[in-house]
């Protein structure tokens, strides 16, 4: 029995005025896989992912999720499908603790005599947050610790943890290892592998090609708004990817 891809994007086109950012891009993300998305600046990587996450509406093309056509016109649509995006700036509230950030916008409350008397279930959110971080092997000193006191690597981990807290099926990461220390990069890459073990599919955008080669099952190359390659990560080198990205090679093992 054929298993449908988890996500399939077909002939995606997006224009910004006279600028064609995406020129009929196809993407396939299979269940329990990590897809590395690479390309030079202005290749269309972030634009394509913003279409999938609902930040942009595609001008043409279609998106299938689990084999069913879906309409994504806003971030809520993608979240309802289980698609979460972790941006390069983390999008965390520094003056709120770890648990508060994980539940930001989805706070749990305790019942009371009417809506005015409802209060935050801080204990419940803290307990669930600790279970989530422990499951993903994310180390923070305290769930009550303010996020602005965390290291860059810890903040990235909290942002990833938040993305997976509500039954995420797909996590998109835009430059997750940018501006991190070597030790923090290793922890983030290990976290990506942990997500795969927990049956979460991942799309990672990165200019750090060594990271892409480290964690990806498949690699997709974009150039000037077009998909120019889609290949399994077997025996590829950093030099191979650079050559494909700049157009020095086009002998893709297309599948």
pLDDT at position 230: 92
pLDDT at position 183: 86
pLDDT at position 116: 57
| Residue 234, number of CB atoms within 10 A of its CB | 8
d(CA 59, CA 61): 7
The answer to whether residues 9 and 25 touch, using CB atoms and an 8 Å cutoff, is yes
Q: Which domains does the chain have, with CATH numbers?
A: 7-95+168-246 (3.40.50.300)
pLDDT at position 255: 44
Q: Residue 198: CB partners within 8 Å, gap ≥ 6? A: 135, 136, 164
pLDDT at position 207: 93
| Residue 144, number of CB atoms within 10 A of its CB | 13
Give the 3-state DSSP-derived string for the chain, with helices as H, strands as E and coil as C.
Answer: CCCCCCEEEEEEEEEECCEEEEEEEEEEECCCCEEEEEECCCCCHHHHHHHHCCCCCCCEEEEEECCEEECCCCHHHHHHHCEEEECCCCCCCCCCEHHHHHCCCCCCEECCCCHHHCEECHHHHHHHHHHHHHHCCCCCCCCCCEHHHCCHHHHHHHHHHHHHCCCCCEEEEECCCCCCCHHHHHHHHHHHHHHHHCCCEEEEECCCHHHHHHHCCEEEEEECCEEEEEEECCCCCHHHHHHHHHCCCCCCCCC
pLDDT at position 62: 97
Along the 255 residues of the chain, how does pLDDT read in single tens digits? 567 899 999 999 999 999 999 999 999 999 999 999 999 998 999 999 999 999 999 999 999 999 999 999 999 999 999 999 988 777 788 899 999 999 888 888 886 555 555 688 888 989 989 998 888 888 888 999 999 998 888 888 888 888 888 889 999 999 988 878 888 889 889 999 989 988 999 999 999 999 999 999 999 999 999 999 899 999 999 999 999 999 877 765 544
């Amino acid at each position: 029995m054929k298993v449908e891809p988890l996500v399939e994007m077909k002939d995606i086109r997006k224009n910004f005025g006279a600028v064609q950012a995406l020129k009929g891009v196809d993407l396939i993300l299979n269940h329990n896989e990590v897809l590395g998305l690479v390309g030079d600046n202005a290749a269309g990587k972030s634009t394509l992912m913003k279409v999938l996450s609902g930040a942009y509406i595609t001008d043409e093309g279609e998106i299938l999720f689990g084999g069913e056509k879906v309409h994504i016109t806003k971030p809520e649509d993608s979240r309802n499908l289980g698609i979460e995006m972790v941006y390069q700036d983390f999008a965390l509230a520094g003056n709120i603790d770890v648990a508060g950030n994980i539940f930001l916008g989805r706070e749990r409350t305790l019942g009371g005599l009417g809506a005015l008397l409802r209060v935050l279930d801080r204990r419940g959110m803290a307990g669930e947050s600790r279970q989530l971080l422990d499951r993903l092997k994310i180390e923070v000193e305290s769930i009550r610790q303010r996020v602005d006191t965390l290291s860059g690597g810890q903040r990235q981990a909290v942002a990833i943890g938040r993305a997976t807290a509500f039954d995420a099926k797909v996590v998109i990461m835009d430059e997750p290892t940018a501006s991190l220390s070597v030790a923090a990069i290793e922890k983030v890459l290990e976290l990506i592998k942990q997500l795969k073990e927990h049956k979460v599919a991942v799309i990672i955008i990165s200019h750090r090609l060594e990271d892409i080669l480290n964690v990806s099952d498949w690699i997709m190359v974009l150039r000037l708004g077009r998909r120019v390659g889609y290949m399994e990560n077997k025996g590829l080198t950093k030099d191979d990817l650079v050559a494909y990205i700049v157009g020095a090679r086009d002998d893709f093992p297309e599948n």
